[in-house]
Amino acid sequence: MIASCPEPDVRRRWLERVGFHDGTRDGEGGQADWLVLADAVGLAREELLDERYVARGTRFAVDSYLHFCQTRPWTEAAAAALTEMFSPDLMAARVVAWREHYPWIKPEGYAYFERRIPVVRTDADWTLDVVLTHCRSADQQQAAIEALAFKCDVLNTMLDAVDYQGGVE
């Protein structure tokens, strides 16, 4: 998405999102927080990193989303990210439920969510503004709607794949 976007301000702001996930140095960022979560639930780090438990359908869905973002106009890739508009409240509710039903998860395992929830609220507002600003024609607006629907299909496919697989054995 960044590579095909001609808008320097949009690219710079999107890079902040990448920075959140990658961190500014080793051991920081959302990916590092996922490793802490793996430790907190007793999943060996190497099992997470070698992706042995990724369901085939989930891998296919993620690859489809990546392909979509690489091949579609940057505004459509941005529009697809608008699923984040709904995620802060969902993430917050899930954390409450996990703490209630899975007390064995070490508290540090929630770091990703505790850091991501406030950030995703501003990211979603900003992304919506980008889409509304840059998708002016009826065709662009329709493509943005279809991009968001596609991303919802991706997320639903991931859930179906995990449900079908029946969890980790």
Phi-psi region of 81 (alpha: psi -120 to 50; beta: other; left: phi over 0): alpha
pLDDT for residue 165: 82
**Is 68 a domain residue?**
yes
Does residue 44 lie in a domain region? no
pLDDT at 9: 96
Tokens of 164: 């079908």
User: Total structural domains in the chain?
Assistant: 1
Q: What is the pLDDT of residue 167?
A: 53
Cα–Cα distance measured from residue 2 to residue 7, given in angstroms and rounded to the nearest whole number? 9
Q: Which domain holds residue 70?
A: 55-165
pTM of the model: 0.88
DSSP 14: H
Residues of the chain with pLDDT under 50: 169
Residues 16, 7: Cα–Cα separation, whole Å: 15
Whose tokens are 């802060």? That residue is 88
CATH number where 128 lies: 1.20.910.10
* pLDDT of amino acid 109: 93
The answer to whether residues 159 and 93 touch, using CB atoms and an 8 Å cutoff, is: no
In a domain, 141, yes or no: yes
Residues ≥6 apart with Cβ < 8 Å to 74: 1, 2, 4, 5, 6, 10
User: Residue 139's closest CA among 42, 41, 84, 73?
Assistant: 73
